Amino acid sequence: MIQKKKNIQDNTLNLLFKSKNMYGESLISTNKEILPFIYGSRHNHTIINLKNVSFFLKRIFKLIKYIIQKNEKILIIGNADEIKFLFTSAFKKNNSNVIFFNKEWINGLLTNQIMNTTFNKVINYLIKEQQIKLILIIKSSIKDTFLNQEISTLKIPIISLINTNQTIKNINYPIITNSKNIQSIYTIMYLLRKIF
């Protein structure tokens, strides 16, 4: 059993390494909050500690599996082109407890209920009834600080992909990654899809 767990962690680590997930932003633009996740630097760019990322991913995957097993609802937010392949109709059909928000996020969408659409009414109802137990922010076009701040007011655990120049404030479970590298995003998406 211990050997099996070690193999899973090694496989995750190898996938992250092969996808060049370890290269962060320049030292100047790297957020100081991210430093505990940084291994070092090379050619004036930060190197992400993939062992830490792999460890956090393992914990995050356990949490997602737990929520799925309990038949609770998960809200996934992301509208970047690189992640649209995750939101296939087959994936949505097989994961009825997952609510996808893959449109442009507008500030106040949840807290002020500024959009009077059917979809928004559904999300606001689920939040009011405390049915959404986890929020996963993959990649959104809105500035992350506004999105994180608004969602954190809901007191629901948040998982988010974080680039080294972003903030981890208001994020319960950050996945430090190179979100500007499509290969890195695809690898994280591949690992996430295996969980659902």
Confidence of residue 140 (pLDDT cuts 50, 70, 90): low
Confidence of residue 142 (pLDDT cuts 50, 70, 90): low
1 in a domain, yes or no?
A: no
CA angle 102, 103, 104 (to 5 degrees): 130
Q: What is the DSSP letter of 87?
A: G
Report the pLDDT averaged over residues 38-46.
Answer: 89
Residue 112: closest CA among 154, 159, 141: 154
Write down the pLDDT at residue 60.
93
Write down the pLDDT at residue 180.
78
76 in a domain, yes or no?
A: yes
pLDDT in tens, 62-86: 999 999 999 999 988 887 766 666 6
2 in a domain, yes or no?
A: no
22 strand-pairing partners: none
160 in a domain, yes or no?
A: yes
3 in a domain, yes or no?
A: no
77 strand-pairing partners: 101, 137
Check: pTM over 0.75? Answer yes or no.
yes
Q: What is the DSSP letter of 86?
A: G
Q: Tell me, what CATH number does 110's domain have? A: 3.40.50.10490
Task: Count the neighbouring beta carbons within 10 Å of the beta carbon of residue 158.
Answer: 20
pLDDT in tens, 89-135: 788 788 888 888 877 777 677 666 555 677 777 777 887 788 899 99
**Range with the largest mean pLDDT of 17-21, 37-41, 136-140:** 37-41
**Residue 9, pLDDT above cutoff 60:** no
103 in a domain, yes or no?
A: yes
Write down the pLDDT at residue 133.
92
Confidence of residue 172 (pLDDT cuts 50, 70, 90): very high
State whether the Cα torsion 167-168-174-176 is positive or negative: positive
Q: Which domain holds residue 124?
A: 8-194
66 in a domain, yes or no?
A: yes
55 in a domain, yes or no?
A: yes
Question: What angle separates helix 2-18 from helix 182-195, to the nearest 10 degrees?
Answer: 150
Classify burial at 101, counting beta carbons within 10 Å of its beta carbon; exposed 0-12, middle 13-18, buried 19 or more. Answer: buried
Question: How many structural domains compose the chain?
Answer: 1
CA angle 47, 185, 7 (to 5 degrees): 75
Q: Which two tokens stand for residue 94?
A: 């097989």
